[in-house]
């Protein structure tokens, strides 16, 4: 059927939301009614989401988000896919839209200068420039920009502590980047707060750079937070950066260890993947809780009791009643 293909949307928007729970319920209902799946975080500081759906459903979803004046400036990174990238919809309220130790920072008031992909490409190789990856270890070990400076971090919360290692670079142009741009909003703002004067960020992140600038000089693949796990972004000079966690051969095939008590995300080649049934080691393969391996290396996250349909009938009923009253 014409135009019956799926889209994957990656987006964020820093904007004040007063009643986060009320908006969560409204947003959640829209997703259910339009078969949108994925993970969406709502907080007092804004929205952050990665979702998938049929093309026409995703177009309705983008229009819905942007119809709210608070989120009219939302920049969606749109990728085509042959199926849903998620199995369920989760819309949650949290204190921050990206977990950090920088809750005091409002990127709408202060952040690094935004560079569109082509501008980033033109600037990144200049002599006085440092390209700074603000992502976690498992992400930059799979792929990063050529000559990028990486930080030894298990998660973004460690960023403020790691900035202490960058004091000697305060006289340089600092170009920050991440997957979709959201971490850079706060990371670049924090660098400015700490006395770095010439700070930039790649607007739209690695994903947008691949779409608009061909991904040139991005080595390896980009880790993504859906069931693809890793995507290629470089159409100009692609390479494989990572090696198989088990046998050491070149591999950019990302796997979430089948042992849920381990759960690490590492590159594992296809042969080792099947041999260890998706586990990262012999001990994980023999673990009694090991999950069945289907070759993808992706497992739905533990929902911790979250019910995506909780309150759906009540919300839908209220919506219908309001529609009747307004006729």
* pTM for this entry: 0.90
Q: How confident is the model at residue 18 (pLDDT cuts 50, 70, 90)?
A: very high
Instruction: Output the DSSP codes for 256-323.
Output: E-S-TTT--EEE--HHHHHHTTT-SSHHHHT-TTPPP--SS---PPP-TT--TTTTHHHHHHHHHHHH
Q: How confident is the model at residue 303 (pLDDT cuts 50, 70, 90)?
A: low
User: What pLDDT is stored for residue 96 in this prediction?
Assistant: 96
Nearest-angstrom CA–CA distance, 116 and 188? 15
Calculate mean pLDDT across residues 239-255.
97
- Find where tokens 């700074």 sit: 132
pLDDT of residue 314 exceeding 80, the answer is no
User: What pLDDT is stored for residue 78 in this prediction?
Assistant: 97
Asked if domains 6-97 and 113-223 share a fold, the reply is: no
Per-residue burial over 226-255, b = 16 or more CB atoms within 10 Å of its CB, e = otherwise:
bbbbbbebbeeeeebbbbbbbeeeebbbbb
% of the chain residues with pLDDT over 90: 89
Residues with a known catalytic role: 178
Q: How confident is the model at residue 1 (pLDDT cuts 50, 70, 90)?
A: very low
User: What pLDDT is stored for residue 4 in this prediction?
Assistant: 82
Nearest-angstrom CA–CA distance, 53 and 203? 24
Instruction: Output the DSSP codes for 113-132.
Output: EEE-HHHHHHHTTSTTEEEE
Domain boundaries, the chain: 6-97, 113-223, 242-298
User: How is domain 113-223 classified at the architecture level of CATH?
Assistant: 3-Layer(aba) Sandwich (3.40)
According to CATH, what is the number of the domain 6-97? 3.30.70.100
Judging by DSSP bridges, how do beta strands 254-256 and 265-267 pair with one another?
A: antiparallel
pLDDT of residue 3 exceeding 90, the answer is no
pLDDT of residue 304 exceeding 70, the answer is no
**3-state DSSP assignment of residue 167:** helix
């Amino acid at each position: 059927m014409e135009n019956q293909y799926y889209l994957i949307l990656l987006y964020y928007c820093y904007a004040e939301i007063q009643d986060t729970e009320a908006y969560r319920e409204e947003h959640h209902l829209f997703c259910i009614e339009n078969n949108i799946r994925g993970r969406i975080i709502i907080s007092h500081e804004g929205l952050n989401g990665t979702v998938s759906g049929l093309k026409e459903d995703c177009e309705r979803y983008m229009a819905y988000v942007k119809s709210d004046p608070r989120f009219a400036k939302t920049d969606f990174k749109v990728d085509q896919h042959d199926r849903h990238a998620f199995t369920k919809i989760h819309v949650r309220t949290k204190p921050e839209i990206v977990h950090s130790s920088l809750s005091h920072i409002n990127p709408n008031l202060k952040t690094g200068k935004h560079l569109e992909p082509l501008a980033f490409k033109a600037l990144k190789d200049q002599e006085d420039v440092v390209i700074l990856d603000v992502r976690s270890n498992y992400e930059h070990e799979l792929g990063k920009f050529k000559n990028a400076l990486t930080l030894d971090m298990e998660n973004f919360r460690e960023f403020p502590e790691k900035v202490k290692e960058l004091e000697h670079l305060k006289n340089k142009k600092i170009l920050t980047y991440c997957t979709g741009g959201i971490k850079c909003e706060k990371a670049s703002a924090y660098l400015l707060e700490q006395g770095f004067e010439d700070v930039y960020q790649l607007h739209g992140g690695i994903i947008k750079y691949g779409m608009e600038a061909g991904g040139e000089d991005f080595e390896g693949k980009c880790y993504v937070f859906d069931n693809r796990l890793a995507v290629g972004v470089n159409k100009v000079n692609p390479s494989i950066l990572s090696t198989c966690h088990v046998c050491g051969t070149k591999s950019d095939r990302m796997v979430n260890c089948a042992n849920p008590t381990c759960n690490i995300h590492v590159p594992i080649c296809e042969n080792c993947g099947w041999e260890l049934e998706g586990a990262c080691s012999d001990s994980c393969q023999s673990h009694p809780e090991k999950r069945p391996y289907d070759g993808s290396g992706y497992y739905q996250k533990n929902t911790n009791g979250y019910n995506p349909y909780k309150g759906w009938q009540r919300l839908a009923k209220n919506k219908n009643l309001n529609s009747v009253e307004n006729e």
